[in-house]
Amino acid sequence: MKPIRSNELNYIDTLIHDKFRNRRQNIESEIEAATQKQTDKNYKSFVEKLGLKAEIKAFKEAEDKLKKFVSQKESYEAKLYSAKQTAAGKLESKLNSWSSIRGWKGNYNDTMSIEIKDYDNIEHYLTKACKQETKQAVEKLPKFKVKHDLDLLEEQAKNVLYSGRDIKDVWSHLGQTFKTSGIPVAAPKQFLQLESK
C-alpha cells in the first residue's frame, strides 16, 4: 500500500475544495437567473394571491392625489397626507402580517419589516418577498437537487481523502464522486481504472 504523501494530500484537498466551490457557484448563478425569471412571471399573481390589490390601489390613489394637490392649501394637503398615511398603515399592517406568516427575510435574515413611505416601496418589498418564495420553489426543482447533494458529496470526498487509504483507492473513489456531482476533473487515469478481480 502506497500512502498519500503530505504534498499529494494538500493538493487533493485544495482540488476538492476548489472544484466543489466552482460547481456550487455555477449552480447558485443558475438558481439566481431562474429565480429572477420566475419572479418576473410570478409577481402579478403573487400580489393577487396575497389579496393586496385593493390596498395597493387605495395607497396609489392617495399618493397620486397628494402629489397632484401638494401646491394647494396646507389644510387640504394635510388631509390628503393623512389619507395616504392611513392607507400606508393598513397596507404596512397587512404586509407585515404576511411577512411574519410566510417567513419573509430582511437584510440580516430576520423577519422582513415593512415600512412604506412612497408607492415605489410597495414593489420593492413585494418583489423581494416574491423572489424569496420563488427561489424556494426553484431550489426544489429536480434539476437543482444536486445543490443539496454537493455538501454531502464533498464531505464524502474529504472523508475518503483523510481515511488513510491507498492513493489509488482514494483517486478511484474521488473520480466516482466528481463524476456523480457533475464536476469535471483531470485525474490520473491509471488511478481511476477499476482493478480486475
Residue 190 amino acid letter: Q
Confidence of residue 196 (pLDDT cuts 50, 70, 90): very low
Does the residue 165 lie in any domain? yes
Quick: pLDDT tens for 30-48.
Answer: 999 999 999 999 999 999 9
Quick: pLDDT tens for 75-87.
Answer: 877 888 899 999 9
Reference 50, options 140, 110, 149, 127; nearest CA is 127
Reference 41, options 145, 141, 116, 138; nearest CA is 138
User: With pLDDT > 70 as the criterion, what percentage of the chain qualifies?
Assistant: 93
Quick: pLDDT tens for 117-167.
Answer: 888 889 999 999 999 999 989 988 888 877 878 888 899 999 988 998 888
Instruction: Give the per-residue pLDDT at 144.
Output: 84
Do both 180 and 88 map to the same domain? no
Do both 132 and 164 map to the same domain? no
Q: Contacts for 49-54 with beta carbons within 8 Å, 24 or more apart? A: 50/98, 50/126, 52/91, 52/94, 52/95, 52/126
Do both 72 and 162 map to the same domain? no
Its domain, for residue 187, covers 6-28+144-192
Do both 151 and 174 map to the same domain? yes
Do both 89 and 156 map to the same domain? no
Do both 119 and 152 map to the same domain? no
Q: Name the domain count of the chain.
A: 2
Instruction: Give the per-residue pLDDT at 71.
Output: 66
Per the structure block, which three cell numbers stand in for 104? 419573509
Quick: pLDDT tens for 68-116.
Answer: 876 667 787 788 889 999 999 999 999 999 999 998 998 887 888 888 8
CA distance 159 to 121: 49
Handedness of CA 33, 35, 37, 40 (dihedral sign): negative
Do both 110 and 59 map to the same domain? yes
Handedness of CA 16, 18, 19, 24 (dihedral sign): positive
Does the residue 155 lie in any domain? yes
**CB 19 within 8 Å of CB 177:** no
Does the residue 1 lie in any domain? no
Q: Is 161 exposed, middle or buried (0-12, 13-18, 19+ CB in 10 A)?
A: buried
Q: Is the pLDDT of residue 64 over 80?
A: yes
* Sequence-distant (≥ 6) Cβ neighbours of residue 169 within 8 angstroms: 160
Tell me if residue 105 falls in helix, strand or coil.
strand
* Prediction pTM value: 0.60
CA distance 48 to 22: 39
Question: What number is the average pLDDT over the span 169-182?
Answer: 86
DSSP string covering 7-45, please? HHHHHHHHHHHHHHHHHHHHHHHHHHHHHHHHHHHHHHH
Counting Cα atoms < 13 Å in the Cβ hemisphere of 45 gives 7
